Copies of this chain bind each other. A is one copy, B any other.
Amino acid sequence: MRVAVDAMGGDKAPREIVKGSVLAARQFPDNEILLVGDEKAIRHELDSLGTNAKNIVIRHASQVVSMDDPATYSIRQKTNSSITRSVELVANGEATAVVSAGHTGATVAASTLHLRTLKGVRRPGIAVPFPTRHGTCLVIDVGANIACKPLHLFQYGVMAAIFCKYIFGIKDPKVGLLNIGEEDAKGNDLAKETFALLANSHLNFVGNVEGCEIFDGKADIVVCEGFVGNVMLKFGEGLSMSLLSTIKAEAMKSFWTKLGLLLCKPVFGALKAKMDFAEYGGVPLLGVNGVCIICHGRSDAKAIQNAVRVALQLSKNKINEHIVSELEKAHVTAVHAT
């Protein structure tokens, strides 16, 4: 299988992206990595790594989408960007998956435009595993779409359930609906109507899930509208960093607490590993006709290597075929809900 990696996307591009791709090429020797971006820059990084892997191929792309570019602008004006070129490789069948740590909006827009959605899927959604006390909770969507209808949220649930089944090995994952109260009739119209769709579906629906309940194992999957999901994801990042920096600052105030913090170093190491996006690498944009893995802008080589692993896992497990057949089964519900 071939995975197209956007070599120019991310804060640490191209160095860490190329390095991660080389690690992935070694880990998965039967597969091929297409490194997409400025040929000279990529060649330079490959040379400095002294690698000569046969399963790495460079595909030149002359433009780079900057983090300041609006997504729509990047699609219209930068048609030869590393993101667009990477996605096109999947669209024309040269690769089965794309991995990018670049501009998320541009990656979503390019994927939606060039790959189109899977048969039956209305809107793609980004699914992010949130670390919880006992494992993870997959939250979908965290910002691919912000004008959602109940059917979109219902389909997020179906797609995420398949992802959980084949990637996390959870047979009948518990699906929850993000809401502001536990009672069935809670929330805005979107939440109420989505509740009805989920409750009448084949999914293992566990009802409304409040923000705090994401961490207690009530659900394996929580569906929400992209605006709320995006705010929550970023809020979580900010809060975690704020808490840890407060702990550090407070500990610096005395000799004994400084010593305590030093002794606790393994604790924070374990915590960091648990929270570290680099561990799971990248997150899927579910619902497009091809595998698209979105990585954090701060991704390092390890994150990219893991993202390629996830991309291969999704491809090999034929996640998209399962999504299409599952949505066909849910067709009756879908028709009634439009």
Please report A residues at the B interface, Cβ cutoff 8 Å: 70, 105, 132-133, 143, 146-147, 178, 180-181, 183, 185, 187-189, 191, 210-216, 224, 226-228, 230-243, 245-247, 250-251, 253-254, 256-257, 259-268, 270-271, 274
A240 near B238 with CB under 8 A, answer no
Asked if residues A143 and B240 are in contact (CB atoms below 8 Å), the reply is: no
Q: Give the distance in Å from the alpha carbon of A266 to the alpha carbon of B259 in the complex.
A: 13
Chain B residue contacts of A214, Cβ below 8 A: 235, 238
Contacting residues, chain B, for A133 (C-beta < 8 A):
242, 245-246
Are A237 and B211 touching (Cβ within 8 A)?
yes
A146-B180, A146-B188, A261-B260 known; A250 vs B267 contact (CB < 8 Å): yes
For the complex, what is the distance from the CA of A265 to the CA of B253, rounded to whole Å? 12
Residues of B within 8 A of A259 (CB): 260, 263
Q: A243-B271, A251-B264 are in contact. Are A211 and B187 (CB under 8 A)?
A: no
Give chain A's interface secondary structure class: helix
| Interchain residue pairs with CB less than 8 A apart (19) | A133-B246, A180-B230, A180-B234, A211-B231, A211-B232, A211-B234, A215-B238, A215-B241, A236-B239, A240-B243, A246-B274, A247-B271, A250-B266, A250-B270, A256-B263, A257-B266, A259-B263, A260-B265, A261-B264
Across-interface contacts of A247 in B (CB, < 8 A): 264, 267-268, 271
Q: Shortest beta-carbon distance, A253 to chain B, in Å?
A: 8
Given known A243-B243, A257-B263, A271-B250, contact A143–B180 (CB-CB < 8 A): yes
Q: Tell me how far the C-beta of A173 lies from the nearest C-beta in chain B, rounded to whole angstroms.
A: 20
Q: Which residues of B contact A147 (CB under 8 A)?
A: 188-189
Q: Which residue of B lies closest to A231 (CB)?
A: B211
* Cβ contacts under 8 Å, A181 to chain B: 105
Closest Cβ of chain B: how far from A114's Cβ, in Å? 23
Complex: A294 Cα to B233 Cα, angstroms: 27
* Contact assessment for B211 and A233 in the assembled complex, using a CB-CB cutoff below 8 Å: yes
Given known contacts A260-B267, A271-B243, is B185 in contact with A70 (CB within 8 Å)? yes
Residues on B with C-beta less than 8 A from A263 are: 256-257, 259-260, 263
Tell me whether B211 and A242 are in contact (CB under 8 A).
Answer: no
Bound complex: CA of A304 vs CA of B264, how far in Å?
36
Residues in B whose Cβ lies below 8 Å from that of A233: 211
Cα–Cα distance between A242 and B130 once the two chains are bound (Å): 11
Contact for A238 among B189, B216, B256, CB less than 8 A: B216
The answer, among B189, B227, B267, for a CB contact under 8 Å with A188, is B227
Extra 12 A-B pairs, beta carbons < 8 Å, given A146-B187, A180-B227: A105-B181, A133-B246, A147-B188, A180-B231, A211-B234, A214-B238, A227-B228, A232-B232, A232-B235, A236-B239, A246-B274, A264-B264
